[in-house]
Structure 1
Amino acid sequence: MSDQISPEELSSRNSELLDEIIRMSDFSFERLPMLDIIGERLADSLALALPNMTGTLCEAELTQLDYLPMSQINDALSDPVLLAVCSSHQLYGPILLVLDSPLVLTALELMLGGTPRGATPHNTEGFTAIERGFGKRLAGLIAQELQRNMALVGDIELDLDRIETDPDAASVTQPANLCVRMQIALAQAGHSGALEVILPYDALEPLRPKLGRIHFGGPGEDASPWREQLASQIERATVELEAVLTDIRLPIQDIMGWAPGDTVNLWIEEDHEATVLCAETAMFRAALGKRNNGNTAIRITETLTPEEETSHGCNDH
Structure 2
Amino acid sequence: MNKIMTPEEIAENGKGVIDEIIRMSDFNFDRLPMLDIIGERLADALTAVLPDVTGVIVEASLNSLDYLPMAQAIDGISMPSFFGIVEANHLNGAILLALDSTFALTTMELMLGGSPKGELKRQSEEFTAIERGFARRIGDILTVELRRCLAMVADVDMELDRIETDPDSSMVTQPTSLVCRMRFAVALAGRTGMFDAIIPYDALEPIRPKLGKIHYGEPNEDGSPWKDQLTGQIERSVVELEAVLTEIELPIQTLLNWKPGETVNLWIEEDHEARVICAETEMFKALMGKRNNGNTAIRITERIEAEEETDHGRDID
TM-score, normalization by structure 1: 0.78
Deviations 1:252-288 (A, max 9, x none): 999999xx999979576x8x55233325654444567
Q: CA 1:188–1:295 in structure 2 vs 1: closer, same or farther (change >3 Å)?
A: closer
Kept in 2, the 8 Å contact 1:41–1:225? The answer is no
Q: CA 1:158–1:262 in structure 2 vs 1: closer, same or farther (change >3 Å)?
A: closer
* Percent identity of paired positions between Structure 1 and Structure 2: 47
The Cα shift of 1:299 comes to 4.8
Which one-letter code corresponds to 1:40 in the other structure? E
Q: CA 1:287–1:241 in structure 2 vs 1: closer, same or farther (change >3 Å)?
A: closer
Which one-letter code corresponds to 1:275 in the other structure? A
Which one-letter code corresponds to 1:227 in the other structure? L
- Distance, in Å, in 2 between the alignment partners of 1:209 and 1:111 is 40
Question: What's the RMSD between the two structures over aligned residues?
Answer: 3.7
Kept in 2, the 8 Å contact 1:94–1:203? The answer is yes
The Cα shift of 1:57 comes to 0.9
- Distance, in Å, in 1 between the alignment partners of 2:167 and 2:41 is 27
- Distance, in Å, in 2 between the alignment partners of 1:295 and 1:19 is 71
Deviations 1:125-151 (A, max 9, x none): 121111111111111111111111101
- Distance, in Å, in 2 between the alignment partners of 1:76 and 1:294 is 58
- Distance, in Å, in 2 between the alignment partners of 1:66 and 1:263 is 66
Residues matched between the structures, number:
297
The Cα shift of 1:155 comes to 0.9
The Cα shift of 1:194 comes to 0.5
Instruction: Tell me, yes or no, if structure 1 residue 119 matches structure 2 residue 119.
Output: yes
Q: What secondary structure is seen at the aligned counterpart in 1 of 2:169? A: coil
Deviations 1:271-316 (A, max 9, x none): x5523332565444456777777887665443333669xxxxxxxx
Q: CA 1:239–1:122 in structure 2 vs 1: closer, same or farther (change >3 Å)?
A: farther
1:154-169 matched pairs, under 5 angstroms = 154-169=154-169
Instruction: Tell me, yes or no, if structure 1 residue 175 matches structure 2 residue 175.
Output: yes
- Distance, in Å, in 2 between the alignment partners of 1:183 and 1:190 is 19
Question: Which blocks of at least 5 consecutive residues in structure 2 are unaligned?
Answer: 309-317
Deviations 1:98-152 (A, max 9, x none): 0011111111111122222122445751211111111111111111111111011
Kept in 2, the 8 Å contact 1:149–1:225? The answer is no
Deviations 1:179-222 (A, max 9, x none): 1011111111110110110001111111101001134x699834
Q: What secondary structure is seen at the aligned counterpart in 2 of 1:98? A: strand
Which residue of 2 is the match for residue 46 of structure 1? 46
Kept in 2, the 8 Å contact 1:148–1:225? The answer is no
The Cα shift of 1:225 comes to 7.4
Question: Which blocks of at least 5 consecutive residues in structure 1 are unaligned?
Answer: 309-317
Kept in 1, the 8 Å contact 2:276–2:286? The answer is no
The Cα shift of 1:168 comes to 2.1
Which residue of 2 is the match for residue 241 of structure 1? 243
Kept in 2, the 8 Å contact 1:79–1:124? The answer is no
Q: CA 1:196–1:105 in structure 2 vs 1: closer, same or farther (change >3 Å)?
A: same
Which residue of 1 is the match for residue 277 of structure 2? 278
Deviations 1:197-250 (A, max 9, x none): 0001111111101001134x699834567513422323x555342445xx7789
- Distance, in Å, in 2 between the alignment partners of 1:186 and 1:262 is 52
- Distance, in Å, in 2 between the alignment partners of 1:291 and 1:11 is 74
1:234-273 matched pairs, under 5 angstroms = 234=237, 237=239, 239-244=241-246, 266=267, 273=272
Kept in 2, the 8 Å contact 1:45–1:225? The answer is no
Kept in 1, the 8 Å contact 2:153–2:218? The answer is no
TM-score, normalization by structure 2: 0.78
Q: What secondary structure is seen at the aligned counterpart in 1 of 2:207? A: helix
Q: CA 1:72–1:277 in structure 2 vs 1: closer, same or farther (change >3 Å)?
A: closer
